[in-house]
Amino acid sequence: MKVFHGIIEIAGQMGITCLELKKRGHIAIGYNTAHSYLNYKEDVQNTVLWEIQHTSHHIMRFFDLFHFHYGVTMYADYRDLYQIREQGKPIVMHHWGNDVRLRQLASKNNPYVYAEDSPPDERIHQTLHNLSGVIREAIVQDYEVYSYVAPYYERVHVVPIAIDLDRFAPCYPTRECPKPLIIHAPTNPDFKGTYFIENAIERLKLRYNFEYKKIAGVSHQEAARLYREADIVIDQIRCGSHGLFSVEAMALGKPVIAYIRDDVRAKFPADLPIVNANPDTIYEQIQFLLTQPEARVALGKAGRAYAERVHAKEIVTDQVVGIYTRLMQQP
């Protein structure tokens, strides 16, 4: 199978999937036009939109299946989708969150959510309406994102974030730790709730002996190295679900704090070992982990086991290949 991925790399997911597809004998190319300080360069071709459009006639002829991400295709008017459909080749759209997080719906389900980085609701509606007019099936990472796109597509698959566990050897916290290190990595502080986290940290510093590090502005590779030192990891506490940071921290064997909405949590595997905290409860939950070293170790071990079972790239790619196989068999 020849598989196209493009054209925006989100959290290294295109690259991980392409790498695993190639290991299985498929031809897979991920084209990325979104370049950031995170510097994702593994198994994607970092290019520019002009180059993709310039070769789009070859791209559409060469590949058997098209896996787009983030609601974006090769052309803003989606002319490529119509041409691919005319050739009878399957297309799937992978939505990741900010591209489809409808503010009105998000706020209805979650009083803490920050969705100002998403396009206005009307534009999201129009985009989903246009895309689903050509694309029948979509993929999302969890049931928080599912709720925004489910009304539009014929079928929406929930496929967990993938991680290459070989890059994340576990490094569990120790029970005897006089000064635990708390790490938070706010790629987008408003979205992640950094203000609330740091407010709680300042108050906790008056009572407890610990260190706090904010990881920002470094490459993904460098950040992953810094995460290894952590005793407690705080991901995002406003969104209502966890992100890649939680998955990487679990893979490293770290206890993780994030906010998972009750209705979303009910859809995750029951043993999701994330300590649930929102802006109203973040102080107490950090305090809990600071004062319970046994819990830190136990949650770290449970996190690693969970990442191995749910997020290993081999397991996730099995699900993706299953979707591809079914799409290829459809008339």
Q: Binding to another protein by residue 165, rule CB under 8 A?
A: no
Q: Of these, 1, 49, 53, 55, which contacts another protein (CB under 8 A)?
A: 55
Q: Looking at beta carbons only, is 45 or 194 nearer to another protein?
A: 45
CB 226 → another protein: shortest distance, Å?
21
If DSSP states are collapsed to H, E and C, what string results for the chain? CEEEEEECCCCCHHHHHHHHHHHCCCEEEEEECCCCCCCCCCCCEECCHHHHHHCHHHHHHHCCEEEEECCCCCCCCCHHHHHHHHCCCCEEEECCCCCCCCHHHHHHHCCCCCCCCCCCHHHHHHHHHHHHCCCCEEEECCHHHHHHHCCCCCEEEECCCCECHHHCCCCCCCCCCCCCEEEECCCCHHHHCHHHHHHHHHHHHCCCCCEEEECCCCCHHHHHHHHCCCCEEECCCCCECCCHHHHHHHHCCCCEEECECHHHHCCCCCCCCEEECCCCCHHHHHHHHHHCHHHHHHHHHHHHHHHHHHHEHHHHHHHHHHHHHHHHHCC
Binding-site size, another protein (CB under 8 A) = 17
Q: Looking at beta carbons only, is 23 or 203 nearer to another protein?
A: 23
CB 13 → another protein: shortest distance, Å?
17
Part of the chain binding another protein (CB under 8 A), chosen from 58-66, 255-263, 296-304, 312-320: 58-66
Interaction residues for another protein, span 22-51 (CB under 8 A):
22, 27-29, 41, 43, 45-47, 51
Closest CA to 162 of 317, 7, 321, 325: 317
Q: Looking at beta carbons only, is 55 or 130 nearer to another protein?
A: 55
Q: Looking at beta carbons only, is 66 or 259 nearer to another protein?
A: 66
Q: Looking at beta carbons only, is 55 or 287 nearer to another protein?
A: 55
Q: Of these, 8, 19, 232, 234, which contacts another protein (CB under 8 A)?
A: 19
CB 58 → another protein: shortest distance, Å?
5
CB 167 → another protein: shortest distance, Å?
10
Q: Of these, 37, 62, 82, 195, which contacts another protein (CB under 8 A)?
A: 62
CB 85 → another protein: shortest distance, Å?
18
Q: Of these, 59, 135, 145, 297, which contacts another protein (CB under 8 A)?
A: 59
Q: Looking at beta carbons only, is 29 or 115 nearer to another protein?
A: 29
State the Cα–Cα distance between residues 284 and 277, nearest whole angstrom: 8
Which residues sit at the interface with another protein, rule CB under 8 A? Answer: 19, 22, 27-29, 41, 43, 45-47, 51, 54-55, 58-59, 61-62
